[in-house]
Amino acid sequence: MAQIFRPSSNTFAVLSVLAGAALPVGLILGMSQFTRSGYVTKVGVPYEQPVPFSHEHHVNELGIDCRYCHTSVAKSAQAGYPSTHTCMSCHSQVWSNSPLLEPIRESYVKNVPLKWTVLNKVPDFVYFNHSIHINRGISCNNCHGPIQAMQMVYKGNAFQMRWCLECHRNPENYVGDQKFVWELYQKIQRGDQLTPEEASLAKGIQYTRTPEELKKGEEWLQKYHVKKDQLADCSICHR
């Protein structure tokens, strides 16, 4: 499958046009079986990191903003991982002798970046961009689950095509004010009263907006000039 979708080739453009008719049924069935198995998706399974970093501790208890560590998330395609310098801005003073933080100190002293294990990844033939989603007010938790409550990060969603498309076909159920993305964590941390939508997101549960909320969503789509009728086009994600 992989070589059919080499980004450099335009096979995909041709494929997309022929899509429904041309793809062998067996292949499609095979692929969907494959992508649905727990082994591939690993949703909900924590994974090994060189340092047992806790989002629950740093985000929810200490109140550190996502952008302090994932600096490019609202500006570019990639969210990125923090450099050791970011950790050491605090950990040269706090817990500076902890054995848990030895890999961080070593990376800092030797000036060799720490290698975080990548958990969330879409295949090379899929184009994804963080900033466009963040800047439409879509919460990290919509895609990544209840990050602020995770001791160890696990996958919130499998990022299968039909999951992306569910939102691309009904974006009014998700878009909103950009501030929403960051204020959600501040409200959770302060223990403020949450709206039903915020309360669902805090738990990483999919929320269905009320008719009034959907109307607001439609207004945001207009404000952002989102072309809803083109969002499910193959060429949006397969370029």
Q: What is the DSSP letter of 75?
A: T
Interacting positions 16-45 with ligand HEC (CB under 6 A): 16, 19, 31, 35
| CA 107/CA 92 separation, integer angstroms | 13
Our separate counts of H helices and E strands in the chain read: 14, 0
The answer to whether 115 touches 150, Cβ cutoff 8 Å, is: no
Q: Which residues pair with 155 in a beta bridge?
A: 43
Q: Single out the residue of 108, 130, 188, 204 in contact with ligand HEC (rule: CB under 6 A).
A: 130
Q: Single out the residue of 42, 71, 80, 194 in contact with ligand HEC (rule: CB under 6 A).
A: 80
* Geometric angle at alpha carbon 30, from 24 and 31, rounded to 5°: 95
Contact call for residue 180 and ligand HEC (CB under 6 A): no
What is the number of other CB atoms lying within 10 angstroms of the CB of residue 145?
21
Q: Single out the residue of 107, 108, 133, 146 in contact with ligand HEC (rule: CB under 6 A).
A: 133
Please provide the size of the chain in residues: 239
Contact call for residue 188 and ligand HEC (CB under 6 A): no
Q: Single out the residue of 107, 108, 175, 201 in contact with ligand HEC (rule: CB under 6 A).
A: 175
Q: Single out the residue of 62, 109, 112, 199 in contact with ligand HEC (rule: CB under 6 A).
A: 62
CB 212, min distance to ligand HEC, A: 19
Q: Which is nearer to ligand HEC, 11 or 210 (CB)?
A: 11
Contact call for residue 220 and ligand HEC (CB under 6 A): no
